[in-house]
């Protein structure tokens, strides 16, 4: 009986919201292109292009959500969750391409200003703003917990701001016949799109590059492991994000001399500490007795005498 007041959106309800957002954005894109051609407004066509990218980004996000829920199998033993990160990368890359294209088109308009019909711009951009707000409301809750949906949501926020800017441009054209405001607004829209995309694409690339979670200091994790009773060292550590919400650690752990009989208990203490302090649930630990530990090991990754013996 809920109507979206929950912080957690169930998958089917979320799918319905994303599908509704796709439908309204596709309809709006067609209206904006027609309006942009009729009025001669580059800013309106720019907004339509961005809006079309909204619809595409939502389609990609929708597909990725479906795939990500597939269970683990022999082909994808980690599961399919990372497909949402790839979807976000595609969407941000698309936004960057669109932003650069709009800058090019605006430069052409500065060199050769065109006649623009202000009324058509204001009316269509007003309709666009309403659709943008509706779409943002449909996806806002989900954007908080999904990099995939957040990429689509930010497409939409940028579009809403673009619509406001287009309304402003159309009003100035109506009042003062200032045609250069059209490419000026286009540059502003493109600038915002590029700034936003470059800001958001970094964390996505970090996940795909198997980087450590930005909110957790790797050294703090290693320090915690070293502080566990029975541990004398940790090396060959790999600490990475499996997806947006899950981190993993694998490492070689050196068990203190004379404590080998306690090795399983030490391992359990390490796993418990990592789970409690850092919410790291996926850990793979290779235990070594102090007397036969790797020769000259590196702290992260690297190769020791034992590295060739396991994959």
* Residue 72 shares a structural domain with residue 156: yes
- C-alpha to C-alpha distances, 68 to 19, 96, 147, nearest whole angstrom: 17, 25, 12
Rounded distance between C-alpha atoms, residue 193 and residue 215, angstroms: 26
Q: Specify the 3-state DSSP secondary structure of 112.
A: coil
Domain span at 292? 218-309
* Residue 202 shares a structural domain with residue 229: no
* Residue 255 shares a structural domain with residue 119: no
Residue finishing a domain among 152, 186, 208:
208
* Residue 61 shares a structural domain with residue 98: yes
In a domain, 6, yes or no: no
* Residue 197 shares a structural domain with residue 278: no
* Residue 101 shares a structural domain with residue 182: yes
Residue finishing a domain among 208, 243, 261:
208
> What's the whole-model pTM score?
0.73
pLDDT of residue 13: 62
- How many structural domains is the chain composed of? 2
CATH for 109:
1.20.1510.10
* Residue 257 shares a structural domain with residue 291: yes
Q: Specify the 3-state DSSP secondary structure of 231.
A: strand
Inter-residue contact 271 to 263 (CB < 8 Å): no
Handedness of CA 69, 72, 75, 81 (dihedral sign): positive
In a domain, 166, yes or no: yes
Q: What is the pLDDT along the chain (311 residues), one digit of tens a residue?
A: 333 333 344 566 677 778 888 887 788 788 878 877 887 777 677 767 767 777 887 888 888 888 888 888 898 888 888 888 888 898 888 888 888 988 988 888 888 776 666 677 777 778 878 887 888 787 777 777 777 788 778 777 777 777 787 788 778 878 887 778 878 888 888 888 898 889 889 989 999 999 999 889 999 999 999 999 999 999 999 999 988 788 999 999 999 988 899 999 999 999 999 999 999 989 999 998 888 777 778 888 765 444 433 33
* Residue 122 shares a structural domain with residue 247: no
Count H helices and E strands in the chain, helices first: 8, 3
pLDDT of residue 6: 34
CATH for 262:
3.30.70.1350
In a domain, 3, yes or no: no
pLDDT of residue 310: 39
Name residue 241's beta-bridge partners. 247
């Amino acid at each position: 009986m809920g109507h979206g007041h929950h912080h957690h959106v169930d998958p089917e309800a979320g799918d319905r919201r994303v599908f509704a957002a796709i439908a309204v954005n596709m309809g709006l894109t067609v209206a904006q292109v027609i309006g942009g051609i009729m009025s001669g407004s580059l800013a309106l066509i720019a907004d339509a292009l961005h809006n079309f990218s909204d619809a595409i980004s939502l389609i990609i996000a929708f597909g990725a959500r479906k795939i990500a829920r597939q269970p683990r199998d022999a082909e994808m033993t980690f599961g399919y969750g990372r497909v949402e990160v790839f979807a976000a990368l595609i969407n941000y890359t698309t936004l960057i391409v669109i932003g650069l294209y709009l800058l090019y088109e605006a430069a052409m308009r500065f060199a050769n200003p065109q006649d623009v019909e202000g009324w058509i711009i204001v009316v269509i951009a007003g309709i666009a703003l309403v659709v943008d707000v509706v779409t943002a409301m449909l996806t806002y809750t989900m954007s908080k917990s999904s990099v995939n949906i957040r990429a689509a949501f930010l497409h939409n926020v940028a579009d809403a701001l673009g619509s406001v800017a287009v309304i402003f441009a159309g009003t100035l054209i109506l009042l003062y016949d200032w045609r250069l405001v059209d490419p000026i607004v286009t540059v502003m829209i493109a600038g915002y799109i590029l700034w936003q995309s470059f800001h958001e694409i970094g964390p996505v690339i970090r996940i795909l590059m198997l980087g450590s979670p930005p909110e957790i200091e790797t050294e703090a994790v290693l320090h915690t492991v070293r502080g566990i009773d029975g541990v004398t060292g940790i090396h060959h550590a790999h600490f990475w994000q499996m997806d947006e919400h899950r981190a993993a650690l694998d490492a070689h752990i050196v068990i203190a001399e004379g404590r080998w009989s306690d090795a399983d208990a030490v391992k359990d203490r390490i796993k418990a500490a990592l789970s409690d302090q850092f919410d790291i649930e996926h850990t793979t630990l290779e235990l070594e007795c102090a007397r036969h530990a790797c020769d000259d090991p590196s702290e992260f990754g690297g190769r020791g005498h034992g590295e060739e013996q396991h994959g």
